[in-house]
């Protein structure tokens, strides 16, 4: 008895097939078939893909995400004519779901039709509503267990390149807690691989993944922790109760249940806090002000009264105004400015920690009478870590001595907190 019973790559449909890879169709023959008519009944929107018949077999190279509906009619126009319809899917790259083809009935599932897949799609929508803080991207390296690997965006990458549905996604790499650059921007937490359906918690390089930007992380194993504890990024690029070389907090523990914790993850927290800076100044903003040390700068010489007659107290070994650091942090950006009234003159601006000089410093030089100089120290090796309660002050030291007080009209320095928890 003739039969029409489609196989996809020798397997019973429906089957998921890779994009831009030839799929082979055949008939599970029982004998008596004399003609074979293959038809592509439906395919995803976009440039049409061609089904190539070859007698009892056919091939299709799908170029688009979505469902392809294939029909085989055997012994057309005879009293032994039989037909069969099968479906193949190129799963959506972003959500890993199958989408229906026009004219489908039970091709997705012979007993339940589209009920199961529709339920999954609605479940996805519900998940997005209750937890919108996830984004899709491509991982550049092999990942580790989901909900423990911290990622940063290292660039973008095109998926489905050269195909009709080509699009760009963020390229994620594992964030190193010792890298100031990687800790300076938004961070994400690996959720799962979309590509690696067999082991979604362990994606491999070039997999499409979901990563969390913000939101709840449940049942994370940090080896301890209490409600309210900060969660940091380790040097290995995982969540940890102690910070890596660069102090970067990405959330806090909100619940403890047995040996695991629930975390409120905040991958953008650093961006909200990063503008922290301290400005030290010796001048007000009026034109040609008196050189009045009223801010935490300390000078290494005894000023004399300014030319406008305002008496300026001597500050050699004077009181240093200190800033008390309110939280752990790393300070690595020093910007200093000076307006010189006389030439040649050189002063050095130095950041002090708990009364001791650090390597974070710049030298300012005059290039002529009434000139300005601005210098920066962005050298990562000069960065200074401060604990909560440490004090910071900035002192100005003579290199080329100043004879009279009005040889400098103003000086200021700004220290930027690079990263903190």
Query: Bigger pLDDT: 97 or 304?
Result: 97
Q: What is the pLDDT of residues 247-295, one digit of tens each?
A: 788 999 999 998 899 999 999 865 444 435 666 655 432 333 333 333 3
Lowest mean pLDDT among 15-29, 163-177, 330-344: 330-344
| Position 107 pLDDT exceeds 50 | yes
Q: Among candidates 274, 316, 291, which has minimal Cα distance to 404? A: 291
Residue 325: per-residue pLDDT: 77
| Position 354 pLDDT exceeds 80 | yes
d(CA 309, CA 369): 22
d(CA 232, CA 238): 8
d(CA 231, CA 143): 20
Q: Give CB contacts under 8 A, 24+ apart, made by 315-320.
A: 320/296, 320/352, 320/393, 320/395
Q: Are 134 and 191 in contact (CB under 8 A)?
A: yes
Q: What six digits make up the tokens of 372? A: 């300005």
Average pLDDT over every residue of 326-335: 78
Residue 98: per-residue pLDDT: 79
Q: Which H helix or E strand runs over 128?
A: helix 115-130
d(CA 334, CA 68): 61
- Categorize the per-residue pLDDT at 22 as very low, low, confident or very high, splitting at 50, 70 and 90: very high
Ramachandran angles phi, psi of 158, nearest 5°: -95, 130
**Of 92-106, 114-128, 305-319, which one has max mean pLDDT?**
92-106
Strand, coil or helix: 257 = strand
Q: Among candidates 256, 237, 234, which has minimal Cα distance to 247? A: 234
Q: What's the Cα-to-Cα distance from 283 to each of 325, 378, 410, rounded to whole Å? A: 23, 24, 5
Q: Are strands 249-257 and 230-233 parallel, antiparallel or unpaired?
A: antiparallel
Residue 173: per-residue pLDDT: 94
Average pLDDT over every residue of 81-100: 86
Residue 90: per-residue pLDDT: 92
DSSP code of residue 246? S
| Position 312 pLDDT exceeds 60 | no
Residue 343: per-residue pLDDT: 72
Strand, coil or helix: 125 = helix
Q: Among candidates 147, 233, 232, 143, which has minimal Cα distance to 189? A: 147
Residues in the chain: 421
For residue 368, what are the contacts with CB-CB under 8 A and spacing of at least 6?
A: 343
How far from the centroid of its chain's Cα atoms is residue 210's Cα? 12
d(CA 356, CA 178): 25
**Of 149-163, 197-211, 326-340, 398-412, which one has max mean pLDDT?**
149-163
For the chain, which residues make up each domain, given as ranges? 6-121, 132-271, 275-420
Q: Per CATH, the architecture of 275-420 is what? A: Sandwich (2.60)
DSSP code of residue 149? B
What is the residue whose two structure tokens read 């307006």?
A: 339
Q: What six digits make up the tokens of 128? A: 């997005």
- How many CA atoms lie within 13 Å of 197's alpha carbon, on the beta-carbon side? 8
Share of the chain above pLDDT 70, in %: 75
Q: Per CATH, the architecture of 6-121 is what? A: Sandwich (2.60)
């Amino acid at each position: 008895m003739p039969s029409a019973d489609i196989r996809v790559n020798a397997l019973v449909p429906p089957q998921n097939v890779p994009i831009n890879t030839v799929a082979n169709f055949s008939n599970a023959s029982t004998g008596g078939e004399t003609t074979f008519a293959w038809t592509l009944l439906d395919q995803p929107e976009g440039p049409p893909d061609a089904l190539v018949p070859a007698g009892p077999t056919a091939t299709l190279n799908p170029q688009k995400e979505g469902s392809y509906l294939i029909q085989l009619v055997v012994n057309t126009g005879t009293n032994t004519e039989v037909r069969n319809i099968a479906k193949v899917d190129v799963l959506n790259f972003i959500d890993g779901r199958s989408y229906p083809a026009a004219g489908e009935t039970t091709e997705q599932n012979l007993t339940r039709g589209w009920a199961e897949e529709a339920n999954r799609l609605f479940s996805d929508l519900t998940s997005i509503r209750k937890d919108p803080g996830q984004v899709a991207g491509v991982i550049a390296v092999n990942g580790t267990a989901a909900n423990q690997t911290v990622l940063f965006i290292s660039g973008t990458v095109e998926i489905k390149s050269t195909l009709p549905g080509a699009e760009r996604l963020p390229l994620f790499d594992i964030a190193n807690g010792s890298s100031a650059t990687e800790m300076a921007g938004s961070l994400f937490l690996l959720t799962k691989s979309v590509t690696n359906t067999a082991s979604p918690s362990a994606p491999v390089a070039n997999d499409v993944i979901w990563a969390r930007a913000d939101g709840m992380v449940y049942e994370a194993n940090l080896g301890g922790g209490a409600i309210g504890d900060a969660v940091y990024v380790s040097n290995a690029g995982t969540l940890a109760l102690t910070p890596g070389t660069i102090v970067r907090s990405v959330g806090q523990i909100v619940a403890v249940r047995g040996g695991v914790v629930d975390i409120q993850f905040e991958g953008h927290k650093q961006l909200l806090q990063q503008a922290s800076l301290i400005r030290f100044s010796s001048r007000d903003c009026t034109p040609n002000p008196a050189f009045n040390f009223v801010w935490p700068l300390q000078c290494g010489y005894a000023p004399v009264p300014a030319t406008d007659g305002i008496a300026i107290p001597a500050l050699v070994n004077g009181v240093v105004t200190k800033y008390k650091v309110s939280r752990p942090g790393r300070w690595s950006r020093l910007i200093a400015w000076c307006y010189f009234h006389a030439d040649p003159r050189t002063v050095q601006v130095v950041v002090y920690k708990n009364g001791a000089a650090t390597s974070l410093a710049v030298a300012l030089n005059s290039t002529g009478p009434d000139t300005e100089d601005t210098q920066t120290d962005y050298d990562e090796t000069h960065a200074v870590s401060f604990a909560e309660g440490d004090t910071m002050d900035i002192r100005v030291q003579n290199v080329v001595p100043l004879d009279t007080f009005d040889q400098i009209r103003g000086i200021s320095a700004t220290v930027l907190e690079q990263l903190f928890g």
